[in-house]
């Protein structure tokens, strides 16, 4: 339960805090990113999401691992870094002060958390460890460099967040396989934070993570990957380079290009890979997906070849880097541009727009979705053998609150239903999956699981064909999140209990997305959803 609660608590805190902080930033005109020549957004956007991400990650870690020495050092270092990042977001402090904060944070995790690059594996003679006077500055350079690499990659909506979600998912997987619970829980908390934040950070983003968020993620990715690989002799010490491969390559390329032109390596320009992709004719979302694919290839190679020769991994990364650079060089030299096929534009896209305008697709699928999700939620409450007494007691005030709000203050009903869903759905799904009734075994359980895949497809269909101009929208990140959620139960060497936790996480996230779509599409007509939730709570109370 510790893994599931860490993921969900980080997710819920981030989802709750992000819109609140966004509203406060706009109201007080603090840390708002204005449009500019180098910006791809055309409206002011708050850049205060890093605070929500930090709190979302800190709370479960303080609850579960407050006595862990490494976690204490990590949280102290991250707090310093985030504080400097918040100052930069609010006041645009000079770069030297940003570097000061990064160096202090890195020294804290190096000295207090004992995170140092002492072994380079087969890159050095067998058994040779770097002395402290080399290990310390090398680790400092690696952490500060990775911090800035993620910070500089935050150039398109959802780009840095999606890259880091892949990184932390892979770090969590590696930690799980090596039995390192501390690193695994931190990675899981950060994954939960990104699950929640990406909902608001997709194109067009309603909030940015800011320097506080991007530096926090980069620092965490470097510190966790170095700590894990250095503490586990069987893992290659080259893996951190692979995991952070694309942002590192992007940053090095940009800085070398600037230096070659005789300008400061820290000056602003439009020479990042995402800028090049858009200059080749790719749209915003397409550029993000391409970079996701590049990063995914690196992540897959890190997981598959984690025990292989360090030289093999290094050569692989150098080969990957050369291929990416040669592609961009060739594209610029040949003035290649991405072409959007006329067949798609005229036939498929035209038909898509017609269906969306007429509303035929959503009229046919939406009722199935409304009543299907309602029946599924109601059924889940019957699937557990027993309902704990504490859950019955907790369900009573929720049931009463919904009833009173429905009768006397309907303007608050949507928010009340959303809060109730986020609170009780994880417990209902957890009980149905870890202690199901015997009649659910076999074919019924297979059919039950398949419903989640069906509703995942319906989420995408409804989001794409919706004629709303605001609210919940599907995006490339939805595919990324769904793939990761479904992949959790399929980790190698899974025990039965871990498999169940993975299914719980995947199903909870799917239900969260489903009800977000419903509450947005229903436009205040909450009778079916409110009735379903009240009946579901009543079932839990009376069982």
Q: What residue ranges do the domains of the chain occupy?
A: 2-115+133-333, 344-542
Lowest pLDDT segment from 42-46, 69-73, 78-82, 88-92: 42-46
Mean pLDDT (whole number) for 244-266: 87
CB atoms within 10 A of CB 233: 10
User: What pLDDT, on the 0 to 100 scale, is given for residue 424?
Assistant: 85
Question: How far apart are the C-alpha atoms of 530 and 237, rounded to whole Å?
Answer: 53
Q: Is 271 exposed, middle or buried (0-12, 13-18, 19+ CB in 10 A)?
A: middle
CA angle 323, 329, 330 (to 5 degrees): 85
Q: pTM for this structure?
A: 0.79
Tens of pLDDT, residue by residue over 89-124, are 888 888 889 999 999 999 999 999 999 999 998 888
CB atoms within 10 A of CB 58: 19
Question: How far apart are the C-alpha atoms of 177 and 492, rounded to whole Å?
Answer: 8
3-state secondary structure (DSSP) of residue 409: coil
| Higher per-residue confidence, 483 vs 436 | 436
Mean pLDDT (whole number) for 152-171: 88
Query: Which one-letter DSSP state was computed for residue 34?
Result: P
Question: In which element (H, E) is residue 246 found?
Answer: helix 245-260
Give the C-alpha distances (Å, rounded to integers) separating 417 from 230, 284, 462.
47, 34, 21
Question: In which element (H, E) is residue 45 found?
Answer: strand 45-46
- Three-class secondary structure assignment of 109-156: HHHCCCCCCCCCHHHCCCCCCCCHHHHHHHHHHHHHHHHHHHHHHCCC
Question: With b meaning 16 or more CB within 10 Å and e meaning fewer, what string describes 290-306?
Answer: bbbebbbebbebbbebb
Q: Which of 130-134, 284-288, 290-294, 415-419 has the highest mean pLDDT?
A: 130-134
| Higher per-residue confidence, 453 vs 357 | 453
Mean pLDDT (whole number) for 176-185: 90
Residue 477 has pLDDT above 60, yes or no: no
Average pLDDT score over the chain: 83
User: What pLDDT, on the 0 to 100 scale, is given for residue 346?
Assistant: 44
Tens of pLDDT, residue by residue over 369-379, are 888 888 888 98
Give the C-alpha distances (Å, rounded to integers) separating 468 from 328, 339, 349, 356.
37, 29, 18, 10
Q: Which of 177-181, 224-228, 329-333, 383-387 has the highest mean pLDDT?
A: 224-228
179, 491 Cβ separation under 8 angstroms: no
Lowest pLDDT segment from 147-156, 194-203, 526-535: 194-203
Mean pLDDT (whole number) for 526-536: 92
Residue 260 token pair = 């070659």
């Amino acid at each position: 339960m510790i893994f599931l609660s860490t993921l969900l608590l980080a997710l819920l805190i981030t989802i709750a805090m992000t819109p609140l902080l966004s509203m406060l930033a706009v109201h007080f005109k603090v840390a708002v990113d204005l449009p500019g020549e180098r910006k791809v957004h055309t409206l002011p956007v708050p850049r205060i999401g890093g605070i929500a991400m930090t709190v979302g990650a800190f709370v479960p870690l303080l609850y579960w691992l407050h006595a862990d020495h490494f976690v204490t050092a990590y949280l102290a270092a991250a707090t310093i870094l985030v504080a400097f990042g918040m100052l930069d977001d609010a006041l645009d402090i000079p770069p030297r002060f940003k570097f000061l904060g990064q160096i202090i944070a890195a020294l804290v995790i190096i000295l207090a958390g004992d995170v140092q690059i002492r072994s380079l594996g087969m890159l050095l003679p067998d058994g040779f460890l770097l002395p402290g006077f080399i290990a310390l500055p090398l680790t400092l350079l690696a952490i500060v460099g990775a911090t800035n690499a993620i910070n500089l990659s935050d150039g398109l909506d959802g780009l840095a967040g999606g890259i880091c979600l892949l990184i932390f998912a892979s770090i969590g997987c590696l930690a799980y396989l090596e039995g390192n619970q501390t690193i695994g829980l931190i990675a899981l908390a950060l994954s939960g934070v990104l699950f929640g934040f990406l909902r608001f950070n997709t194109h067009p983003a309603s909030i940015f993570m800011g320097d506080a968020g991007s530096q926090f993620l980069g620092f965490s990715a470097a510190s966790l990957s170095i700590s894990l690989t250095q503490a586990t002799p069987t893992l290659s010490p080259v893996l951190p380079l692979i995991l952070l491969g694309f942002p590192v390559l992007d940053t090095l390329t940009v800085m070398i290009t600037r230096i070659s032109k005789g300008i400061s390596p820290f000056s602003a320009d439009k020479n990042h890979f995402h800028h090049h992709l858009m200059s080749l004719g790719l749209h915003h979302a397409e550029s993000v997906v391409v970079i996701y694919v590049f990063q995914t290839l690196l992540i897959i190679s890190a997981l598959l070849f984690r025990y292989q020769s360090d030289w093999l991994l290094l050569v692989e990364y150098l080969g990957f880097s050369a291929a990416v650079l040669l592609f961009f060089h060739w594209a610029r030299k040949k003035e290649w541009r991405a072409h959007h096929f006329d067949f798609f534009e005229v036939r498929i896209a035209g038909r898509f727009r017609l269906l969306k305008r007429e509303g035929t697709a959503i009229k046919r699928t939406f009722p199935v979705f409304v009543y299907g999700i309602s029946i599924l939620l109601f059924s889940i409450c019957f699937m557990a053998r027993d309902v704990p007494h504490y859950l019955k007691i907790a369900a009573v005030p929720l049931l009463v609150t919904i009833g009173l709000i429905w009768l006397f203050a309907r303007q608050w009903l949507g928010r009340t239903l959303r809060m109730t869903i986020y609170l009780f759905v994880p417990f209902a799904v957890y009980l149905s999956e870890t202690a199901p009734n015997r009649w659910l075994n076999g074919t019924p359980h297979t059919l039950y699981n398949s419903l989640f895949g069906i509703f995942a497809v319906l989420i995408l269909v409804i989001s794409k064909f919706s004629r709303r101009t605001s609210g919940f929208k599907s995006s490339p990140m939805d595919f990324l999140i769904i793939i990761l959620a479904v992949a959790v139960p399929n980790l190698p060497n899974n025990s039965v209990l871990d498999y169940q936790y993975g299914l719980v996480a995947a199903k909870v996230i799917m239900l969260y997305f489903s009800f977000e779509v419903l509450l947005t599409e229903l436009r205040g007509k909450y009778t079916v959803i409110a009735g379903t939730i009240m009946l579901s709570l009543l079932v839990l109370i009376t069982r």
